[in-house]
Amino acid sequence: MSYLEYTVKSVPTGFRKILYLNWPLVLLLTAVAGTGFLMLYSVAGGGYSPWAEPQMKRFALGLCLMVAVGLVPIWMWRNLAGVAYGVSIMLLIGVEFFGAVGMGAQRWIDLGFIRLQPSEMTKITLVMFLAAYYDWLPAKKTSRPLWVLLPLLIIIVPTALVLKQPDLGTAILLMAAGGGLMFLAGVHWAYFATVIAAGIGLVVAVFQSRGTPWQLLKDYQFRRIDTFLDPSSDPLGAGYHITQSKIALGSGGWTGRGFMQGTQSRLNFLPEKHTDFIFTTLAEEFGFIGGISLLVLYALIIVFCVVSAVMNKDRFSSLLILGIALNFFLFFAVNMSMVMGLAPVVGVPLPLVSYGGSAMLVLMLAFGLVQSAHVHRPR
Amino acid sequence: MRRSRAETDASHAKLGRRAALLGGVQLLFMGGLAARMRYLQVDQADQFRLLAEENRINIRLIPPKRGEIFDRNGMQLAQNVPSYRIVMVREDAGNVEDVMQRLASLINLTPEQTESAVRELNRSAPFLPVTIAEDVSWDAVSAVSVNAPALPGVAPEVGSTRVYPRGSDFAHVVGRVGRVSQKDLDALEDPDAVLRIPRFQIGKINVEAREEKLLRGTAGTKQVEVNATGRVMRELERREGQSGAALQLTIDAKLQNYVQARLTGESAAVVIIDCEKGDILANSSAPSYDPNLFIGGISSKDYDPLLTDKYRPLVNKTVQGAYPPGSTFKMMTAMAAIEAGIIGPDETVYCPGHLEVGGRRFHCWKRSGHGWVDLETSLKRSCDVYYYDLALKVGIEKISAMSNRFGLGIRHDLALSSVNSGLTPTKDWKLQNRGEDWVIGDTVNASIGQGFMLASPMQLAVMTARLATGREITPRLVKTVNGVEQPVKGNAQLDMKEGNLRKMRKSMYAVVNDRRGTAYRSRIIADGMRMAGKTGTSQVRSAVVNNSEVPWEQRDHALFVGFAPYDNPRYACAVLVEHGGGGSTAAAPIARDVMLQALYEGEPPLEAYPTGDRGRIKIQQRKLRDVQPEARIKKNSDQA
C-alpha cells in the first residue's frame, strides 16, 4: 500500500503518460529487434519471408502492447500479481494434460490463434508475484526462515512443473530469476550460501542418478551435457551443433564475412539458425564488431533498467524492474554462452532477436511493466 | 500497516546496493562473453575460417576422356560414345510410384527394375539422382524428353562409354575395357582416385590394359559448394583434366579385317610384320569375339560359349600361344652351323631316311630318305636328317644362342597381354627346370623345332623378318602417341655373314618357288612379288599316324613363315593353324593370300596366282570381300 504514501498527483495522467515513457529503453529495444530483422532476412537467403516479416509484425504488436501495459498504473499490476501467478500455475498444470508435444517436450497449448507457452509467461508472473510479496513483507522480516520458505515455495512450484515438461533451460532460468529477486529483496547471505551448496549437491545427485531407475533427467538431456563437456567426442552427432556454431563464430573474424555472406548459416551447417543459433549468424556475417555491438545494446538495456529501478522509490516497482532485467539478462547470457560453447545446448532463444512470437510478446509485455513502473514512479 | 520513513529508506538503500552488485555481476559476465567472443573471433579466427571452408567446399573429380585408338591409316578402332541413363530425383518427382509407373510403360522397365529403383530412391537423400535404367537407347531418351512434363524429377543423363566399331577384328589387339573391379584396385599400389568414380572404365586386356596410363588421362577437379546435407549449391572452380592420349597402332585395319575373315572357321594365328620398321600390320587370332559384349559386364549366355569353345576364342594365339615351331626352325639350326663354320652351305649330308643317335633311331619324315642333300635341297624338301647331323655337330647351346639372336625365346615387349617368351632350351635350362641332364636326343629333336623348342607366331614372324633383312627387326605395335612417332628399334645389322643370310633366303625361295619345294603350290607368280618361306608341321603326338584318321585335338599344327618380295623384302609373316595338318597344305595357302593382300594393299589381281588356282581363288575372293566383323554395338552409338 506504499503508493498511498506518495503524492500520486505528481504522476502524469492520460495520454500525456506517453511522453514520460522510458524512451531510451524503447529505442534500445527497437535497435535490438532491428538487428533481429536483419539477421532473419539474411538467414532466409535474403527474403522477408518466412521469418523477417512475421517478426516485424509481432514486434510492432509488441510495441503497442508495451505502451498499453505501460499506460496502466503500476499499482493495478501489483494487485494483479497474485492472480497472474495463479493463472500461470494453472496453465502449467494445463499443458501437462492438453499440451502439444514438440522437440521431445510438452511446451505449449494451441489456442488456435497463438501457441501459448505457459513457461514463458511464468518467468514474468513469478517475478511479479515475488516483487509484490517483498513489497508487502516488512523489511525486517525478510530474512526470517518462515518468510524465506514461502518465496522458495513460490519459486519451486512452477520450476518443478516446468522441469516436468521437461524444459531444463526454462527451469534453471526460473530458479535463477527467483533467487535473484530474493537476493535483491535483501534476504540474508547465509541462505544463498546454503542454496548454492544444495545446488552443487543436486548436480551431483543428478549425475549419480544416471542409469539408475530414478534417473532425474531424460537421456537426451544427459547427452547434451556430455557433448557440452566434450563437444569433440561426437562432432557429427550431438556435438555437431556446438562445433558448427563455434566454426561459424570463429570464421567471422574481426569484421565478419559480410551481410548474407555467411557460409555456415547459408549452407545449413548451423542448426536452428533462425531461432536459438541466430547469434552465430550475426557473428559470422558481422564478425567481432557485430557481436560486440549487440552485446553493448543488451548491456545498455540492463543499465537503463537498473538505473530506472534504483531511482524508483517504490519497492514493488524497483524489484519488478530489476527482476525483469535479470530475466532478460539470463536469456541472452545463457543463449550466448551456449553458442560460444560455454554452456550446454538448452534451447533458450536470444531475446528479441530469435524468431518466435510467444517469447517476443511476453518480453514486450514485461517491458510494458517496466514502462508502467517508470511512468508511475513516485516523484 | 504504515511503515516508518527510516525503515523504507533503509530497505531502499539496501535494494540499491544489491541492485548495483547484481548489475555489476551481470556486466562482468557480459565482459566474459566479450572476451570469449574475442578469443573465438580474433585469436582463433584463422583456424575456424579454415574449418568453415572445409565444411563447405567439396572437391569432385571430373573423369577424363579416354584416349581413342586408331589404325595406321587413321581408322577408328576404339572410340568413346555417349551412353545414356535415366535418373530420377525423389524430391522433384512428387509421387514416386506414379511417375515410375508412367516411366515404366514408356521405356519398358521390368517390374524388378522399377522395384529396386523405388527401393533405392527411398533409401537415398531426396535430392540425389538415382539411376533407374542404364545404357538406354536414344529412342528411350527422346521418349523421356518429349514426355518430360508428365515425368517430374526424371531426366536422361549422359555419360561416356567405350565402343569398338571394328568388333571382333581387334579383340586380340586393342582388347577391351570394363568397369573397375576390386581386383583391379587391389592390383594397383596406389590407385588413382578417378578409378573410384562409379561406372569408370579401365583397360582389361591388350592395348587397352597395357597402355592404360596413356589412355586414361588425368582427372580434372571441380570445387563445389555443398550444404550440410551434401547438396551441391554451386560450382566454385573447375580445373579441366587431361584427356587420354590418342594412340595410333601400326596395324592396318583393312588388312587385319581380311586376315581375320580369311581365318574364319580355323583355330589359327597370323602375324604380318613390316620389314622396314618392324611394324605389326596384322595380328590375327581366330576365332575372335566381340569385345563390345564385355563392356557393361557380359552375360553368362554370351560368356559360356566363349569359355567352352575348343578353338579357345579368348586366347590370343599370336603371342600367348607357344607352339613347337617344327620345320620352320630349321633355318636356325642351319644358321648356327654355317655361321660357326661347321659346314659350308654347299656341303652335302647323306639322308638314308633315319639317323642312329645314342642307340635310338631318329626318322626323317620321308622314310625312304632324301639321299645326298645340301642346305638348299634339305630346306626345300624339308629333310630332317640333314639338320640332325648339323645339330649334333654344332650343339644345342649354339643353336639356342642363334635362335635368341633371331628373336626366339625372347619376350618381345608389346602392348599386348600375356606375351609368351617361348622357349629355346639349353642344357642348364633342362637341369634347372626338369632336374634332368640334357641328352643327345634332345638336341636332335630341337634341331627340327620339336621337343622342348617352343615359339609363338609373333616370334616366328620376327625371326623371318630378321632373316629377310639381316637386321634386328623389333616388332612395334604403337605407331604414334598423340601424333608423336614412337621409336623404331632394331635397325642394327645382325652380326652375320651376308653370304650365309643370302644363301638362307635363296633356300627359302626354293621352298616356295622350286617345283620340288614343299610350298610350291602356294607360290606367287607376279613379278617382283615372289615369296620365300618355309613350311612346318609340328607334331602334337609322338606316333606317326595319318592326320585324317585322328581327332582334331591330336592332329599336327600347320605352320608357315615367309617373306615377300624375295628380292626386296617388304613384309614377313608367320601363319599357324592349330591342328591344321601339314604346313604346306593348311598354312602356306593362307600365307600367300594374306601376303598378297598386304603387298597389293587390297585385293590382289588373279594374275598373281598360278593359273591352276585362279578359279578357286576367284570364288574365295568374292566370298571374303568386305566381310564385316562381328560387332554388336548398341544402337545409341549410331546416334552419337
Confidence grade of residue B2 (pLDDT, cut at 50, 70, 90): low
Looking at the complex, report in whole angstroms how far the Cα of residue B90 sits from the nearest Cα belonging to chain A.
20
Looking at the complex, report in whole angstroms how far the Cα of residue B85 sits from the nearest Cα belonging to chain A.
30
> Quick one: cell of A192?
544463498
Q: What integer is the mean pLDDT of B236-243?
A: 82
Helix (H) / strand (E) element for B201: namely strand B201-205
Query: d(Cα A328, Cα B14) in Å, to the nearest integer?
Result: 22
Query: What was the pLDDT predicted at B479?
Result: 95
Q: What are phi and psi of B58, to 5 degrees?
A: -125, 135
**B chain contacts of residue A340, beta-carbon cutoff 8 Å:** 33, 36-37, 40
Query: d(Cα B593, Cα B30) in Å, to the nearest integer?
Result: 98
Q: Do A269 and B29 touch (CB under 8 A)?
A: no
CA distances from B73 to B76, B249, B596, B626 (A): 9, 9, 19, 17
Confidence grade of residue B53 (pLDDT, cut at 50, 70, 90): confident
Confidence grade of residue A84 (pLDDT, cut at 50, 70, 90): very high
Looking at the complex, report in whole angstroms how far the Cα of residue A352 sits from the nearest Cα belonging to chain B.
17
Choose among A12, A32, A35: nearest CA to A24.
A32
Instruction: Write down the number of H helices and E strands in chain B.
Output: 23, 21
Q: Name every residue whose Cβ is closer than 8 Å to that of residue A207 and which is 6 or more positions away in sequence.
A: none
Confidence grade of residue B1 (pLDDT, cut at 50, 70, 90): very low
| Domain assignments of chain A as residue spans, ordered by start | 79-342
**A chain contacts of residue B15, beta-carbon cutoff 8 Å:** 184-186, 310, 315, 318-319
- What percent of chain B shows pLDDT beyond 70? 96
Q: Do B33 and A249 touch (CB under 8 A)?
A: no
Please give the positions of B annotated as active site: 327
Of residues B308 and A13, the one with the higher pLDDT is B308
**B chain contacts of residue A282, beta-carbon cutoff 8 Å:** none
Query: What was the pLDDT predicted at B302?
Result: 87
Looking at the complex, report in whole angstroms how far the Cα of residue B38 sits from the nearest Cα belonging to chain A.
7
Beta strands in B240-373 (DSSP E): 247-249, 268-274, 280-286, 349-351, 354-357, 360-363, 371-373
Q: What integer is the mean pLDDT of A255-262?
A: 81
Query: What was the pLDDT predicted at B634?
Result: 52
CB atoms inside a 10 Å sphere around CB A226: 16
The mean-pLDDT minimum among A10-19, A128-137, A277-286, A300-309 falls in A10-19
The mean-pLDDT minimum among B8-22, B231-245, B304-318, B574-588 falls in B231-245
The mean-pLDDT minimum among A76-80, B27-31, B188-192, B210-214 falls in B188-192
**B chain contacts of residue A139, beta-carbon cutoff 8 Å:** 7-8, 10-11, 14
Residue A84: alpha-carbon gap to chain centroid: 17
Q: Do A322 and B227 touch (CB under 8 A)?
A: no
What range defines the domain where residue B286 resides? Answer: 253-624
B37 → chain A, closest CA residue: A288
Q: Do A342 and B36 touch (CB under 8 A)?
A: yes
Question: Is 80 exceeded by the pLDDT of residue A147?
Answer: yes
The mean-pLDDT minimum among A158-172, B345-359, B375-389, B458-472 falls in A158-172
Residue B26: alpha-carbon gap to chain centroid: 79
Of A183, A315, A333, the CB nearest to B11: A315
**A chain contacts of residue B20, beta-carbon cutoff 8 Å:** 306, 310
Query: d(Cα B518, Cα B605) in Å, to the nearest integer?
Result: 24
Of B37, B56, B229, the CB nearest to A288: B37
The DSSP result for A21-71, as a single string, is S-HHHHHHHHHHHHHHHHHHHHHTTS-STTTHHHHHHHHHHHHHHHHHHHH
**A chain contacts of residue B127, beta-carbon cutoff 8 Å:** none
Beta bridge partners of B574: B271, B561
Show which of residues 309-348 on chain A sit within 8 Å of chain B, judged by CB atoms: 309-310, 313, 315, 318-319, 322, 326, 329, 333, 336-337, 340, 342
Peptide bond into B165 cis (omega under 30): no
- What percent of chain A shows pLDDT beyond 90? 36
Show which of residues 124-163 on chain B sit within 8 Å of chain A, judged by CB atoms: none
> Quick one: cell of A124?
514474468
Burial of B213 (0-12, 13-18, 19+ CB in 10 A): exposed
Q: Do A253 and B26 touch (CB under 8 A)?
A: no
Q: Do B7 and A138 touch (CB under 8 A)?
A: yes
Query: d(Cα B119, Cα B130) in Å, to the nearest integer?
Result: 10
CA B629, B635, B639, B640 torsion-angle sign: negative
Q: Does A130 touch chain B (CB under 8 A)?
A: no
Question: Is 70 exceeded by the pLDDT of residue B199?
Answer: yes
Query: What was the pLDDT predicted at B422?
Result: 92
Query: Are the beta carbons of A374 and A308 closer than 8 angstroms?
Result: yes
Looking at the complex, report in whole angstroms how far the Cα of residue B37 sits from the nearest Cα belonging to chain A.
7
Of A186, A303, A333, the CB nearest to B33: A333
Q: Do A267 and B51 touch (CB under 8 A)?
A: no
Looking at the complex, report in whole angstroms how far the Cα of residue B75 sits from the nearest Cα belonging to chain A.
51
Confidence grade of residue B160 (pLDDT, cut at 50, 70, 90): confident
* pLDDT digits 0-9 by tens, A166-207: 777 788 889 899 999 999 998 888 888 888 898 888 888 888
Burial of A10 (0-12, 13-18, 19+ CB in 10 A): exposed
Query: What was the pLDDT predicted at A245?
Result: 82
Question: Is 70 exceeded by the pLDDT of residue A5?
Answer: no
Query: Cα–Cα–Cα angle for B93, B94, B98, nearest 5°?
Result: 80
* pLDDT digits 0-9 by tens, B437-479: 999 999 999 999 999 999 999 999 999 999 999 999 999 999 9
Q: Could you tell me if residue B211 is inside a domain?
A: no
Of residues B113 and B564, the one with the higher pLDDT is B564
Choose among B165, B216, B177, B448: nearest CA to B330.
B448
Q: Looking at this predicted complex, what is its ipTM?
A: 0.88
Q: Do B23 and A336 touch (CB under 8 A)?
A: no
Looking at the complex, report in whole angstroms how far the Cα of residue A295 sits from the nearest Cα belonging to chain B.
7
Q: Do A139 and B10 touch (CB under 8 A)?
A: yes
Sheet arrangement for strand B557-564: B280-286, B268-274, B571-577, B557-564, B532-538
**A chain contacts of residue B41, beta-carbon cutoff 8 Å:** 249-250, 252-254, 283, 287-288, 291
**A chain contacts of residue B226, beta-carbon cutoff 8 Å:** 267
Query: d(Cα A253, Cα A313) in Å, to the nearest integer?
Result: 45
Beta bridge partners of B557: B538
* pLDDT digits 0-9 by tens, A227-255: 666 666 555 555 677 778 888 888 888 88
Of residues B31 and B231, the one with the higher pLDDT is B31
Query: What was the pLDDT predicted at B592?
Result: 96
Query: Are the beta carbons of B63 and B197 closer than 8 angstroms?
Result: yes
Question: Is 60 exceeded by the pLDDT of residue B267?
Answer: yes
* pLDDT digits 0-9 by tens, B426-436: 999 999 999 99
B8 → chain A, closest CA residue: A139
Of A139, A254, A299, the CB nearest to B11: A139
* pLDDT digits 0-9 by tens, B83-136: 888 888 887 787 888 888 888 888 888 888 888 888 888 877 777 778 888 888
Amino acid in the structure at residue A122: T
Query: Are the beta carbons of B587 and B503 closer than 8 angstroms?
Result: no
Q: Largest alpha-carbon pair distance within chain A? A: 64
Q: Do B41 and A140 touch (CB under 8 A)?
A: no
Query: d(Cα B538, Cα B541) in Å, to the nearest integer?
Result: 9
CA distances from A13 to A73, A160, A315, B240, B638 (A): 10, 41, 21, 77, 92
Mean pLDDT of chain B: 88
Choose among B79, B87, B65, B80: nearest CA to B141.
B87
Q: Does A140 touch chain B (CB under 8 A)?
A: yes
Question: Is 70 exceeded by the pLDDT of residue A45?
Answer: yes
Helices (H), B77-219: 90-93, 96-107, 111-123, 138-146, 182-187, 206-210, 212-216
Burial of B572 (0-12, 13-18, 19+ CB in 10 A): buried
Q: Do A329 and B40 touch (CB under 8 A)?
A: no
Mean pLDDT of chain A: 84
**B chain contacts of residue A141, beta-carbon cutoff 8 Å:** none
Query: What was the pLDDT predicted at B635?
Result: 45
Of A268, A299, A318, the CB nearest to B27: A299
Q: Does A196 touch chain B (CB under 8 A)?
A: no
Choose among A50, A106, A116, A101: nearest CA to A274.
A50
Question: Is 70 exceeded by the pLDDT of residue A71?
Answer: yes
Query: What was the pLDDT predicted at A178?
Result: 92
Of residues B183 and A5, the one with the higher pLDDT is B183
Confidence grade of residue A215 (pLDDT, cut at 50, 70, 90): confident
| Interface A-B: count of C-beta contacts within 8 A | 146
Task: Quote the DSSP letter at residue B42.
Answer: I
Query: What was the pLDDT predicted at A108?
Result: 66
**A chain contacts of residue B51, beta-carbon cutoff 8 Å:** 247, 250-251
Q: Does B20 touch chain A (CB under 8 A)?
A: yes
- What percent of chain A shows pLDDT beyond 70? 88
Of residues A13 and B179, the one with the higher pLDDT is B179
Please tell me the number of Cα atoms within 13 Å of B229 on its side-chain side.
Answer: 8
Query: What was the pLDDT predicted at A235?
Result: 54
B5 → chain A, closest CA residue: A5
Which CATH number goes with the domain that contains B472?
Answer: 3.40.710.10
Query: d(Cα B532, Cα B509) in Å, to the nearest integer?
Result: 4
Query: Are the beta carbons of B333 and B448 closer than 8 angstroms?
Result: yes
> Quick one: cell of B351?
639322308
Show which of residues 225-254 on chain A sit within 8 Å of chain B, judged by CB atoms: 244, 246-254
* pLDDT digits 0-9 by tens, B112-126: 888 888 888 887 777
Q: Do A253 and B16 touch (CB under 8 A)?
A: no
Task: Tell me, letter by letter, the H, E, C secondary structure of B562-606.
Answer: EEECCCCCCEEEEEEECCCCCHHHHHHHHHHHHHHHHHCCCCCCH
Q: Could you tell me if residue B572 is inside a domain?
A: yes
Count of the separate structural domains present in chain B: 1
Show which of residues 249-268 on chain B sit within 8 Å of chain A, judged by CB atoms: none
Looking at the complex, report in whole angstroms how far the Cα of residue B18 sits from the nearest Cα belonging to chain A.
5
Q: What are phi and psi of B559, to 5 degrees?
A: -130, 155
The DSSP result for B137-169, as a single string, is -HHHHHHHHHTGGGSTTEEEEEEEEEE-TTGGG
Q: What integer is the mean pLDDT of B259-285?
A: 94
Query: What was the pLDDT predicted at B628?
Result: 80
Beta strands in A78-235 (DSSP E): 100-102, 105-110, 115-116
